[in-house]
Structure 1
Amino acid sequence: MKKIQKQTDVGQVLEALNTISRGRMVMDWNEITAGTNPYVVMKTSNIPGKSVIEIPGLIFGDKKKPVKKIGVGMTLTESVIELASAMKLDLIVVHHPVADAASSGGVPFSDYLPLYNLALIEMHEAFHGLHPGMTFLHGHRKLKTDIAFGGVPGNILHKGIALEGIKTAGDILERIHHLMGREMDDDILEAERAIRGEHSLQEATLANPAQLLSGTVNSPVEHVLHFFPHTGFSMSNLEMALQMYPETDTIIASISRVREDHAFVDLAKRRGLNFIVGNSHSVELMENGLPLAYAIEMLLPDVEVFLLRERITAVPLKDVGHKVMVDYGKEMAETHLVTKQPQAVQFL
């Protein structure tokens, strides 16, 4: 008799993610109150009401819910939720932490996600440091990784050595450009500009290319420090890292960026070091999301996995090409938002 295989459910997906993350996922909510999981982390800028607790685990949904289709994304937004609805996905797995309303179009998860029968899992700190993809894409092999440098959770520092064939700063820039497929994104953007008639249209993945801010394209590269400024990596952190690894000749900052006048760059120039800003946050779906999606597929081959990629574009108002909506926007603004006789707001 043919054995009937049990259908995959949310709980099994969570177990697979726990395998992928080497036991870092929250499998029992008691871990949160007990403080036993170091990857449950409060993130705050000390703005009242705007902090969030990262909980690498099941945020919304039933563990027994059957799963046939999973969407893997970076950041939960209403656009991601609506795409998941249209594709009839059962579960969304996102890298970044989620928060009621902020991640769901201004409304609670409990009002929105049940409409589409969606479950939701987040990972973030629990996924950091599990694979060497970030460093590989940026041309070096990591020798050491600290995911809480200076005692700050999520403040990641990689110490690396240049890969074979990477001899100069220019080699790193060319590698990033080639591996990330920028030619394809360039073609897509040019086609969209032509179709919309918006020739000043910009797109997030192309607006922040890898750049060399200190050194020259021919400057030698061997010993690399690689960090992510948005994690709270400070000048004192950088100075400490350079004391720990005085052989460093190249600094790479990626995911988030710094500009030419940043103190990091000034320090690199004064010390004669290369300083490269690598991939921006807008392509982390490929850096981190793609390996995660394939890992899920390998562990759960009966589940269909989709990559949820969100494109962000910008265009000056004067260049918006769709006339009907331009007329609509101006009419609403002039008649209802900039009127000299404001209408009283009625609350139902």
Structure 2
Amino acid sequence: MRDAGRRLGGRRNSRGGGGRQDRRARRAGQARGAGRRDPPPARGSRARPRDGTRGSTSRRGALRLEQRRRADSRGVRGRDRRVRADGGLALVPALSLSTLRGFVFDLDGCVWNGDVLNPGAGETLAALHRSGRALAFVSNNSRATGGDLRVRLQHLGVGVAQHVLTPLEIIGEVIRERFGISRVLSIGAPEMGAVIARAGHELVDVKDYRAATVVAVGNDFDLSYERLTAAARAAARGAPLVTPNMDPRLPIEGGDFLPGCGSIVQSVAVAAGVQPVVVGKPEPPLFRMALERLGLTAPTTAMVGDSIPSDIKGARAVGMPTVLYAPAGGAPADAADVIVSSFAELARLAGVG
């Protein structure tokens, strides 16, 4: 059972335990003068569910299942409980990372913060690569392509970064598939505008926002009120609003952060009264592209990330096992299949540490 609040209901006996055969037996016993009587059934008695199946919903509150919510001796928390055939609870081993064939890693907040690798990240990635595991990296970065981030990883000493994906790999294609060749008002980094133009779209200047048929909004370090206004007005006039991601924060070194792409997109969406089309995580395309690049299936490849809404929920939607990187702790016990507080712990669980 996955949800702590769900109940397992039994099936109520419609005769209250006193069926026809019971009454005949009692009458026969009285006729024989026997002093022995069957005890009356308890008021409100209910049958147990059989073979661990859910009974009728008429039995409310019959049995509440308390989930196991504490870490085991190795600090692993996750979906480690099931219902036995007798209605009790049995422990199920947590996901075994040592049997997986591949890992897909988030970057910002997971592998690195700003320009600094998180402790143990480089060593763990190298050990996984030596063990024969396939590795890919998927970021929601709206200011860089996969190639840009691959170079950045290599400069930080991560030489195993071959497959690196960001929403910029597909944003131009998504716009073309959904809205055709478009006139796009691009509010974001020059890199985002460049990939949209390479996909065959025409870029529209801020002053010509009325001509835009699509508005693309990413994380814009040069954001001005004029640019924000142009995006909101174009979207309000009917141009679809497209964004690489809805992440509210961009983690950087020292435990600090910058306002993320989602913060800007929300401002535009609220002012225009529209909902954005999201290209990156948690939507499926980048996860599926990573699996295709690795040549692996979803059940054999874990997603490792620090964001429950983007990394964990997105990966679960495509059938991938999930590992939540939570160095500060405090994550709900059922937030992911496995929760780790460090890369050293991840390496141990994967059998390479």
TM over 0.5: no
Q: What TM-score comes out, normalization by structure 1 length? A: 0.31
Q: What TM-score comes out, normalization by structure 2 length? A: 0.31
More helix by share: 1
Whichever of the two has the greater Rg, that structure is 2
